[in-house]
Amino acid sequence: MTIRLPGADGRSRSYEPRTDPLVVLPDGAPLASRTVFSAAHVVADPYADVSPGAPAAVDWDATLAFRRHLWSHGLGVAEAMDTAQRGMGLDWTTAAELVRRSAAEARATGGAVACGVGTDQLTGPATLDEVRAAYEEQLALVEESGARAILMASRALAATATGPEDYLDVYGHLLRQATDPVILHWLGPMFDPALEGYWGSGDLDAATEVFLEVIAAHPDKVDGIKVSLLDARREVELRRRLPDGVRCYTGDDFNYPELIAGDEQGFSHALLGIFDPLGPAAARAVRVLDTGDVKGFRELLDPTVALSRHLFEHPTRFYKTGVVLLAWLAGHQDHFTMVGGLQSARSLPHLARAYELADGLGLFPDPSRAETRMKSLLAVYGVTS
């Protein structure tokens, strides 16, 4: 059996899907050598009568089932993050409900969960006091849910701050009142252009110094940092300057195998959007790393980088479309629909290549179902095999 896949050059090519999927049986035992979170997507309700810009409609059963899938392989879930379309279709009211439901499910199943804290309930220009209050509201909700908090970068703070001192003030205020240590998240402008100049400077070296100053002032309140700059060298340099006890969670979807493997001076843990579609494969690789077999870990995880680089190619912020496509093809949901209509954010050739790369890795538990679903998507676009 073959399938015709359209290419970026306007021509189609014949592809023969593999028939032997990667089989990784669930093993809920925690991963030992690294702390690993998968930033999980939300499943939209395809029957809801909503339009782009309207409050999100979520299929809660399918959304929570996907989190149980990740937990069953020993991964933690990073909830209500960028992968879940925060600020790109997922409004704060729905995100708050997602945090509550996911945290409750984690308690019931014994899974690890950390939840995003931001300021996205603000809808217009804001003062620094309003930014602080918005962060406080979300931090309180996450702490009440029993989950670890991830202080995400704030579009409102980026728009309001006049320099590094405003970041030091806002983050210092939040860290002083946090009940438990939090994860600080530095999301680069390639993921969200509104975050250009975060930490008070467009110069990444200067911004790094401000970031480190925040951490150094409150090391007991920082569990770790999540770095999403797609710059392996910068992450390693930053990692080596962290205070003892503060972890680095890589968010680099281009260079994650080498960063997780580490070097003689340390390694990164992981909090990655690509570990949504790679969940079982990533867990298998880390379990090999748990035995001390770095070479075996790299042999398993390095081949996945081509898929990740494809999904996260420019414009990077639309990587969620490929993530949800693969969830549908893998059978984790019954449709290819996203909140905010974001399923239209990538081209058909991009989606076809994502299918090809994921199939080549054996990521689809039922390759024939994935092929049938991909053909149905192609047919909607007028492509027939």
d(CA 363, CA 221): 38
What does each of the 385 residues of the chain score in pLDDT, given as a tens digit?
799 999 989 899 999 999 999 999 999 888 999 999 999 999 999 999 988 788 999 999 999 999 999 999 999 999 999 999 999 999 999 999 999 999 999 999 999 999 999 999 998 899 999 999 999 999 999 999 999 999 999 999 999 999 999 999 999 999 999 999 999 999 999 999 999 999 999 999 999 999 999 999 999 999 999 999 999 999 999 999 999 999 999 999 999 999 999 999 999 999 999 999 999 999 999 999 999 999 999 999 999 999 999 999 999 999 999 999 999 999 999 999 999 999 999 999 999 999 999 999 999 999 999 999 999 999 999 987 6
Instruction: Provide the pairing of β-strand 12-15 with 3-6.
Output: antiparallel
Predicted pLDDT of residue 328: 98
Q: Which residue has the tokens 């990077």?
A: 316
Chain centroid, CA 37 distance in Å: 9
pTM: predicted TM-score of the whole model, two decimal places: 0.96
Handedness of CA 22, 28, 34, 38 (dihedral sign): positive
Burial class (CB in 10 A: 0-12, 13-18, 19+), 130: middle
Vertex 197 angle, CA 195 and 201, to 5°:
155
Q: At what angle do helices 279-290 and 294-301 cross, to 10 degrees?
A: 170
Handedness of CA 27, 30, 33, 34 (dihedral sign): positive
Euclidean distance between the first and the last CA atom of the chain, given in angstroms as a whole number: 10
Predicted pLDDT of residue 51: 83
**Strand (E) positions, the chain?**
3-6, 12-15, 36-39, 76-79, 113-117, 148-151, 182-187, 222-228, 247-250, 269-272
Count of C-beta atoms within a 10 Å radius of residue 318: 17
Predicted pLDDT of residue 385: 66
Distant-in-sequence, close-in-space partners of 144: CB < 8 Å, separation ≥ 6: none
As a residue count, the chain comes to 385
Predicted pLDDT of residue 334: 97
Distances (CA, A) of 73 to 23, 29, 77, 126, 132: 12, 7, 11, 42, 37
Count of C-beta atoms within a 10 Å radius of residue 269: 22
76 touches 114 (CB < 8 A): yes
Torsion, Cα 201 206 209 210, to 10 degrees, reads -20
d(CA 352, CA 362): 15
Count of C-beta atoms within a 10 Å radius of residue 49: 7
Handedness of CA 214, 215, 220, 221 (dihedral sign): positive
| Amino acid identity at 4 | R
Handedness of CA 139, 318, 229, 73 (dihedral sign): positive
Number of H helices, E strands in the chain: 14, 10
- Joined together, the tokens standing for residue 297 give 């870990």
Predicted pLDDT of residue 225: 98
Residue of 129, 115, 185, 175 whose CA lies nearest to 153 = 185
Instruction: Provide the pairing of β-strand 36-39 with 269-272.
Output: parallel
d(CA 324, CA 135): 28
